[in-house]
Amino acid sequence: MNRILQFLFAGILTIYGCTSNHQTHSNTVAKVISKIDSPQSWALLPFTRIDNVNPVLKPGTGSFIDPILNQKVFWEEKDVFNPAIVQRNDTVYMLYRAQDKTGKPGGTSRIGLAISTDAIHFTRMPLPVFYPEDDKYKKLEWEGGCEDPRVVEDSQGTYYMTYTAFDGQTARLLIATSKDLRHWEKHGSVFATAYDGKYADKWSKSGSIVSIYKNGRIIATKINGKYWMYWGDTQIWCATSDNLIDWTPVEMKPGEHPPVKLRSQALNMPQLKVVLPTRNGKFDSDLVESGPPAMITDKGILLIYNSRNMQAYGDHSLQDGTYTASQVLFDKNDPTKVLKRMDTYFMKPEKPYELTGQVNQVCFVEGLTQFKDKWYLYYGTADSKIAVTCKP
Tell if the pTM clears 0.85, that is, is over it: yes
**Could you tell me which residue, 226 or 39, shows the higher pLDDT?**
226
**Whole-number average pLDDT of the chain:** 91
Predicted confidence at residue 116, as pLDDT, reads: 98
Task: Tell me the pLDDT tens digit for each residue of 62-105.
Answer: 999 999 999 999 999 999 999 999 999 899 999 999 999 988 88
Predicted confidence at residue 264, as pLDDT, reads: 66
Spatial separation of the C-alpha atoms in residues 34 and 218, rounded to whole Å: 32
So where are the chain's domains? 1-37, 48-391
Local confidence band at 20 (pLDDT 50, 70, 90 cut-offs): very low
Stretch (H or E) spanning 32: helix 22-37
Predicted confidence at residue 37, as pLDDT, reads: 60
Residues 6+ apart with CB under 8 A from 227: 209, 210, 220, 221, 240, 241, 242, 243, 244
Residues 6+ apart with CB under 8 A from 134: 67, 68
Dihedrals φ, ψ of 62, to 5°? -65, 150
Dihedrals φ, ψ of 64, to 5°? -155, 165
Spatial separation of the C-alpha atoms in residues 175 and 186, rounded to whole Å: 6
| CB distance 279 to 196 below 8 Å | no
| CB distance 303 to 42 below 8 Å | no
Selected from 2.60.120.10, 2.130.10.10, 1.10.10.60, 2.115.10.20, the CATH number assigned to the domain covering 48-391 reads: 2.115.10.20
